[in-house]
A and B are shown apart, each in its own frame.
Chain A
Amino acid sequence: MFFSFQILVFSKKFLRMSSLIVLILFLTACNEAIWNNPYPSDDSGKNILYNAFAERPKHLDPVQSYSSNEILFTAQIYQPPLQYHYLKRPYALIPQTVDKMPTVQYFDEDGNLLSADNESNHVAYSVYELSLKQDIFYQPHPSFARNDQGEFLYHDLTREELQKVFKLADFTQTNTRKLLSEDYIYQIKRLAHPKLHSPIFGLMADYIVGLREYADILRKEAGVAPNDEYLDLRSFPLAGVERVDDYTFRIKIKGKYPQFMYWLAMPFFSPIPWEADRFYAQAGLIKKNITLDWYPIGTGPYMLTENDPNRIMVLARNPNFKGEFYPSEGMPDDIEKGLLNDAGKPLPFIDKIIFSREKESIPRWNKFLQGYYDASGISSDSFDQAVQVTGQGEATVTEAMEAQGMRLETAVAPATYYIGFNMLDPVVGGRNEQEKASARKLRQAISIVVDYEEYISIFANGRGIPAQSPIPPGITGYREGREGVNPIVYKWQDGKAQRRSIEEANRLLAEAGYPNGIDNKTGTPLVLYFDVTARSADDKSLLDWMRKQFRKINIQLVVRSTDYNRFQDKIRKGNAQIFEWGWNADYPDPENFLFLLYGPQRKVGSNSGNNAANYDNAEYNRLFEQMEKMEDSPKREQIIARMVDILREDTPWLWGYHPKDYALYHSWYHNVKPNKLSYNNIKYSRIDFVLREQKRREWNEPVIWPIGAGVAVLLLFLVPGIIAYRRRQRAVGLGKPAE
């Protein structure tokens, strides 16, 4: 009786304790209704955009940054002179910090001005003149702060001052100044800085007059200066840039390079004030990781206020940003989609952007579903949950997603994923004319049998379109419908493109000297080698599928898997036979794709070539040289069409596919128009944060019963446990264990 009473007392105590815990949890719940909110409760209901990033950015200095995960941040902060129109398609450049589009003048060797339509062969120099808007200011920054005597406060920090500094925000004084033409000039000079490694230095040194020599001068200068001394680039003139006045400058380009205009819309050409460079050059700050690479300074709509790339990156509205408005014109269907509702309103709409690091797709996706991220990409794991394809083949959100008010936006990326043939290989490329003709037929046969429609359906959840040439949709030279179809692989039948038959592929294979997959000369089966970077077990099905495609015409495909370094090495040395590769456009010009097959760009034997297939066709090369120097015109389009025809006939690549990006947006996310070339789009986005808060509360009401159930289950186990314990304690010896 006493024993049972004790248990009862204990259980009562336990119950009381558990109830107390539940009560505390409940009270906490009343205090802050959403328990699973990953953000501070103070931020609820504020005009903040929530975004996720998977990979930490390495460089935020515009001279070095080139990755898409970096440009996500840098594009909101820095302002190159030009930008892409947010709504217009095809992509169109418009002024950003300049008051009008740059003017270009062409000169011959003797410095005589040439007319704009002059043959590019006579053009020795092009001069771009840019004139800046006069009311643009930098974000508040300590490098501009001055004392009463007008001296810079933080340009020569003492050891004592440095002791109190751990991050940029620890500097109490900030200031700003107007954007000047010398800031752009300073940044162009930084492309050649010996301590910075600009990925486009090699390319730009071929075009900007004197940039290569400038790098040599700086290297010599840096060599004699102490290691951590500030190299004041203002003291070293660069021949290719000229300051006309405070708001006007010129850039001198060798020959004619119309694509240079596109480069002026990339962060490489953002302004950097010398004061910031001087400030960040202090050894004491570098030691504390306070560098331009970590704390950018710009004139754009946002400024980086928190940089912890392992956890969170915060962009806050730049208080000095003004004078930019939401576009008033766009494409015809933009009005219908509500994309012009905010026409003429000042930008940006959002006060703060919080980027949280999410390395794994599952938590990222679930947080999006709970309303904690405003937009999300769709991984293959969650594809079926999010997207359904209608009878007409159109992708839409599933009913569950629609009920939550989500919408799907799709856009074909200006990118291409292809499989290349190494044209230096005797089997797939050929060494003499006869071999080359035979190899061409072999490549054509393979291009018919590798069924990219099936590939996209199986491995990309339908997110892509089969490529007909290197040029993706949205770029001049891409053609829709019948005239856009690659006749080597498809025939036009019943109003659509039909892949040619296996019989046709077999015929081509026989003509190539491999009837039924057997080499005529040796009588042995034809074996080809597919070079890939080391793959995970998940990719086995993909490689099996690829083998199956080649087996359709009795070709044995052997997969040669190596690590990334060795793969790159094979490609550089021309030791690969068939390989996978891809290209993301730098700018929306066909030149940026067609140069991938330009002979002098060959990987083998060139300095920095991008022609991994080592394709070299004299006529194609000649046409490329002509086309690259031309402005867009019907004549240029004709040349591009001819170049594409040559490529299709020669088939140096299996043209592969152009990926299609799918993204989901919540109902409170407005003004979304996918733009795969420009990244400074957050300023156009608008969030209905009241609706978001309401939905978050609706979707995330805590479910408390499992806590009670857990306590009950624990009790259920505990009571018999305590009974058994008591019995056991009273048991005598080992021979009589508890029943």
Chain B
Amino acid sequence: MLNYIFRRILYAIPILVGVNLITFTLFFVINTPDDMARMHLGVKHVTDEAIMKWKLEHGYDKPLLYNPEAEGLAKLTGTIFFEKSIAMFVFDFGHADDGRDIAHEIKSRMLPSLAIALPIFLLGLLAHITFALVMVFFRMTYIDFWGVVLCVALMSISSLFYIIGGQFLVSKLWHLVPISGYGSELDAGRFLLLPIIIGVISSAGANVRWYRTIFLEEMNKEYVRTARAKGLPESIVLFRHVLKNALIPILTGAVVVIPLLFLGSLITESFFGIPGLGSYTIEAINSQDFAVVRAMVFLGSLLYIVGLILTDISYTLVDPRIRLE
């Protein structure tokens, strides 16, 4: 298995270089270094001299991908792409255009994002699988029927509605929790309660239906019939046998997102005032801060690759037939 993981890590390198190149190209098709300088210096009283100075100071005065004036290897290394990309591979994200250290910023914003995303993920997984199993348990009854109706209804409503509606009812009308904000350490709990509940409910429709479909498919397998023939109660059949066997498709969808939980959620964090990473990339794109965009895309791709590797490993844990070689 170690060989397999090592090989996968090696495969990741060209993928990351490719992602970096695409990000770089797309970013600079839209924004020239001059545009970036103007964005940072403001629109009033900006001179060409100031733009030149800004580019020089931030290392954007060189050619983008190929430096014809340089000698030898420097033709490739004396470019914005090389200089801005190479450090990423040793996790030196550098400084944002406003001078802040990007790694420091990511570290400080990661925890609040995780504080909200992880409970939503775990509680969601638990609640959604439980509800799906209950619906399968009561399949072909009114509980299953109305459960599916409820799921479709939940799916049809925009996530923004849950947030605004939840804030209106729970915080504005009933005054039970703060509308938005974030506290340090233990105090954070009362701010996180509502977004977590809303997060679990708003994703329930799609997830419960998806898990229900997986479980129903398993229910028709022969081992289920055998279990029933042995006289096992329906609950044992479901929770002990069907759940285990249905884990592979569930893991495929779930494990891959675990590393990405660090990156946060844009809308939830914005509405609840959670100081997480959710809006970091969007803010950077709007302010044409290439250093941040590059770092976040790199981190996103890296975490996704890690997620895929973790998914592969998790298969071996739930299905003894699978070996990673």
Contacts and interface: CB of A to CB of B under 8 A. Distances in A.
Interface in B8-63: 30-32, 35, 38, 40-50, 53-54, 57
Contacts of A202: 45-47, 49-50
A367 B179 contact: yes
Contacts of A291: 99
B15 to A, nearest CB: 29
Contacts of B101: 287-289
Contacts of B270: 359-360
B172 A197 contact: no
B178 A36 contact: yes
B273 A359 contact: yes
Contacts of B168: 366
Interface string B182-204: 11000100110000000000000
A40 B183 contact: yes
B42 A66 contact: yes
Interface in A1-55: 34-40
Interface stretch (B71-79, B138-146, B248-256): B138-146
Interface SS, A side: loop
B171 interface: yes
A197 B52 CA distance: 11
A358 B41 contact: no
A563 to B, nearest CB: 7
Nearest to B137: A728
B234 A728 contact: yes
Given A66-B44, A199-B42, A366-B167, A728 B30 contact: no
Interface string B140-158: 1101000000000000000
Interface string A352-368: 00001111101100110
Contacts of A358: 180, 273
Nearest to A39: B181
A34 B175 contact: yes
A312 to B, nearest CB: 8
Nearest to B183: A40
Contacts of A703: 173-176
B123 interface: no
A288 B104 contact: yes
A608 B176 contact: no
Contacts, number: 158
A714 to B, nearest CB: 13
Contact of B45 (A59, A199, A293, A701): A199
Contact of B30 (A289, A357, A565, A729): A565
Interface residues of A, number: 64
A700 B273 contact: no
A197 B234 contact: no
A366 B179 contact: yes
Contacts of B69: none
A608 B46 contact: yes
A203 interface: yes
A700 B13 CA distance: 55
B235 interface: yes
A71 to B, nearest CB: 12
Interface in A539-589: 563, 565, 568-569, 586
A220 interface: no
A293 B172 contact: no
B30 A199 contact: no
A11 to B, nearest CB: 18
B239 to A, nearest CB: 12
A530 B99 CA distance: 37
Contact of B54 (A40, A197, A200, A721): A197
A635 interface: no
B91 to A, nearest CB: 15
B167 A35 contact: no
A697 to B, nearest CB: 10
The 10 closest A-B pairs by CB, nearest first: A310-B275, A202-B47, A38-B181, A38-B178, A311-B275, A703-B174, A363-B180, A608-B47, A565-B35, A58-B98
Given A199-B44, A202-B45, 5 more contacts: A40-B183, A311-B273, A363-B167, A610-B45, A702-B174
Interface of A: 34-40, 56, 58-59, 66-67, 194-195, 197, 199-203, 287-289, 291, 293-294, 308, 310-311, 356-360, 362-363, 366-367, 369-370, 563, 565, 568-569, 586, 607-608, 610, 700-703, 706-707, 721, 724-725, 728-729, 731, 733-734, 737-738
12 contacts: A35-B177, A38-B191, A200-B45, A202-B47, A289-B100, A289-B104, A293-B99, A308-B275, A358-B180, A366-B172, A707-B176, A724-B143
